[in-house]
């Protein structure tokens, strides 16, 4: 059995092999041994037969026991102290004029260290900030930078579809979303506002249907291609340029000249005389079917 545990200190999920013991159940607060050997607190968020991803597996961590009322009391006190640490860190960041935005801070269960998690557009040199934080808080300081998608996953919320963010719900881990996926589904004309999630990055759901679109698009000529039809529509030419694709129905819109535009099925095209020119995400120009 694989257990997924949410680590409150590091704001991350990790997996370990787990033999269910006693009355442990989903959503239970647990004490586990972290990679550095210290005890930390987390929540049992899933139990499954298979791992959700190799990157989640931790070999050196293990569950010690179910959290007691005293453990939870310490955790709640550390959350309150973390709020104070957030205020201190915000003041010192302003003092050092750094372009970074802290949004979470928590003390370790033993109170010896504090982890401050922040976002930033670029890499930040926070060496002097760490020194000042250590002096102000009198603790070992850890600073962790995460991206906007990670922040959205942690903060949680609802997408325009009305459901919880995919990154916080159905997805076990963040997946890469690229403009290739947008182009495969002919969505590049929708505009960035409609293609972006609350995090400001491309929507996670753009990944879900891209394989089906790629399969359906196979064999269709790209826009800009000069094609020859098997049969010319009455009174028109049998050659024209592809101006649009209906990928789901495998149909092609062809401009035959003289304002004659027809929509034909892929099987009604005799051959591609000249391939269209498409631009790849890297800025290279290639011929493509």
Structure tokens that stand for 169 in this block:
């719900």
Rounded CA-CA distance 111/207 in Å is: 41
Helices (H), the chain: 69-96, 127-137, 148-155, 179-184, 192-195, 210-217
Q: Are 225 and 272 in contact (CB under 8 A)?
A: yes
Rounded CA-CA distance 46/13 in Å is: 10
Whole-angstrom Cα Rg for the chain: 27
For the chain, 289 residues long, the average pLDDT of each consecutive 10-residue run is: 88 82 81 89 89 80 91 94 94 94 92 92 90 94 89 86 85 82 85 87 91 89 90 84 90 88 90 72 41
CA atoms within 13 A on the CB side of 217: 17
Rounded CA-CA distance 182/188 in Å is: 6
Q: Are 205 and 190 in contact (CB under 8 A)?
A: no
Rounded CA-CA distance 59/15 in Å is: 9
Each residue of 49-83: b (16+ CB within 10 Å) or e? eeebeeebebeebebeebbeeebeebbeebeebbe
Rounded CA-CA distance 36/39 in Å is: 9
Under DSSP, the state recorded for 49 is: S
Q: What is the pLDDT of residue 20?
A: 64
Question: Domains in the chain, please, with CATH?
Answer: 2-67 (no CATH), 72-146 (3.30.300.20), 167-214 (no CATH), 219-288 (2.30.30.30)
Q: What is the pLDDT of residue 277?
A: 65
Rounded CA-CA distance 238/227 in Å is: 8
Partners of 185 in the beta sheet?
A: none
pTM listed for this prediction: 0.68
């Amino acid at each position: 059995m694989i257990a997924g545990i949410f680590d409150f200190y590091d704001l991350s999920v990790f997996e370990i092999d787990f033999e269910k013991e006693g009355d442990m159940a989903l959503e239970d607060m647990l004490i586990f041994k972290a990679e550095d050997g210290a005890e930390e607190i987390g929540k049992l968020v899933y139990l499954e037969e298979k791992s959700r991803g190799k990157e989640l597996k931790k070999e050196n961590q293990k569950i010690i026991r179910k959290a007691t009322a005293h453990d939870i009391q310490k955790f709640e006190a550390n959350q309150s102290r973390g709020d104070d640490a957030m205020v201190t860190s915000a003041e010192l960041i302003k003092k050092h004029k750094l372009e970074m935005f802290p949004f979470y801070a928590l003390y370790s269960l033993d109170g010896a260290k504090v982890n401050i998690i922040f976002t930033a557009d670029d890499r930040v040199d926070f060496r002097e900030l760490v020194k000042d934080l250590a002096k102000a808080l009198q603790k070992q300081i850890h600073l962790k930078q995460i991206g906007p998608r990670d922040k959205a996953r942690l903060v949680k919320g609802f997408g325009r579809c009305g459901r919880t963010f995919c990154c916080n719900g159905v997805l076990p881990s963040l997946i890469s979303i690229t403009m290739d996926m947008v182009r495969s589904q002919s969505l590049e004309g929708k505009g960035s506002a409609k293609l972006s999630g609350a995090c400001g990055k491309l929507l996670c759901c753009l990944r879900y249907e891209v394989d089906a679109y790629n399969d359906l698009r196979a064999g269709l000529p790209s826009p800009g291609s000069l094609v020859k039809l098997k049969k010319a529509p009455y009174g028109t030419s049998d050659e024209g340029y592809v101006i649009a694709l209906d990928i789901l129905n495998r149909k092609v819109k062809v401009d035959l000249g003289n304002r004659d535009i027809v929509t034909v099925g892929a099987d009604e095209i005799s051959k591609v005389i000249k391939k269209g020119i498409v631009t790849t995400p890297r800025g290279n120009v290639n011929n493509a079917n």
